[in-house]
């Protein structure tokens, strides 16, 4: 048994992991990097590289003019823009039924979370920010965490937004947006064009799968709705979105 454990530790070290992480379970890998990206744990940081594998408890941060996309073991993904920081607090899966329990924290910056459809009735996928906790059921979320204000927008699916301290919540549907400035209650509204455009410029587009049908809306749709749909189309529709 001792010989086997030594062999496993050497294997993980060969993959670029510190010995302390050798017995941790992989939950994600770095799929794409542009600019400066760092991965940290227990106060120790190192430069990230494409293909690097991550475990629970690791932090990811980006530098100026930088982007990164993580691919989780169930097929879900997280894509971050510049000056962003996130933590993979927990990511548990079932070999036959995919994701069971996930908790990610967006500390600052912008991030897009594309969540594979949850197949277990008791499965949980949550994204935590300072003033809001996002509960997900297979969807495409845009989130931004800044000092004193946070934003959540929904491209696909449905999410429940609640305060980390409990109390009343808010349900967002496709195309919905909510801004949190440190207090509840919060009311949802359509995604602001300027905010969506800034998000796209920072986090970038998806190169996966096929894009959404570019209908542009009906002939009698208001110009605002048509323009917003064009911007949402430009995000791309990754193959991991629920069918």
pLDDT on residue 138: 67
Give the pTM.
0.77
Task: Give the pLDDT mean for 169-196.
Answer: 87
**Residue 184 clears pLDDT 90, i.e. is over it:** no
**Residue 226 clears pLDDT 60, i.e. is over it:** no
**Residue 141 clears pLDDT 80, i.e. is over it:** yes
The DSSP call for residue 130 is S
pLDDT on residue 113: 94
User: What residues does 84 pair with on adjacent strands?
Assistant: none
Nearest Cα to Cα of residue 180 among 148, 134, 141, 135:
148
The matching CATH number, chosen from 2.60.120.1440, 3.90.230.10, 3.20.20.140, 2.120.10.30, for 25-191 is: 2.60.120.1440
pLDDT on residue 116: 82
pLDDT on residue 235: 60
User: Where residue 43 falls among pLDDT bands split at 50, 70, 90?
Assistant: confident
pLDDT on residue 167: 65
| Percent above pLDDT 70 for the chain | 73
pLDDT on residue 230: 55
């Amino acid at each position: 048994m001792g010989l086997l454990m030594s062999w496993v530790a050497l294997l993980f070290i060969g993959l670029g992991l510190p010995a302390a992480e050798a017995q941790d379970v992989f939950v994600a890998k770095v799929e794409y990097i542009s600019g400066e990206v760092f991965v940290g744990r227990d106060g120790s940081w190192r430069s990230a590289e494409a293909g690097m594998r991550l475990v629970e408890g690791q932090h990811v941060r980006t530098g100026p003019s930088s982007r990164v996309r993580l691919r989780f073991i169930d097929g879900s993904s997280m894509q971050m823009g510049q000056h962003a920081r996130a933590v993979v607090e927990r990511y548990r899966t079932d070999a036959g039924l995919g994701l069971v329990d996930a908790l990610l924290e967006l500390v600052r910056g912008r991030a897009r979370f594309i969540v594979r459809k949850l197949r277990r009735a008791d499965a949980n996928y949550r994204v935590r920010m300072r003033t809001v906790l996002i509960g997900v059921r297979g969807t495409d979320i845009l989130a931004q965490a800044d000092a004193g204000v946070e934003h959540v927008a929904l491209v696909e699916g449905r999410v429940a937004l609640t305060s980390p301290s409990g109390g009343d919540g808010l349900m967002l549907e496709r195309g919905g947006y909510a801004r949190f400035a440190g207090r509840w209650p919060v009311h949802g509204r359509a995604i602001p064009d300027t905010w969506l455009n800034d998000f796209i410029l920072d986090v970038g587009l998806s190169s996966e799968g096929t894009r959404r049908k570019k209908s542009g809306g009906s002939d009698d749709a208001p110009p605002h709705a048509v323009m917003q749909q064009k911007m949402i189309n430009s995000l791309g529709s990754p193959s991991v979105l629920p069918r």
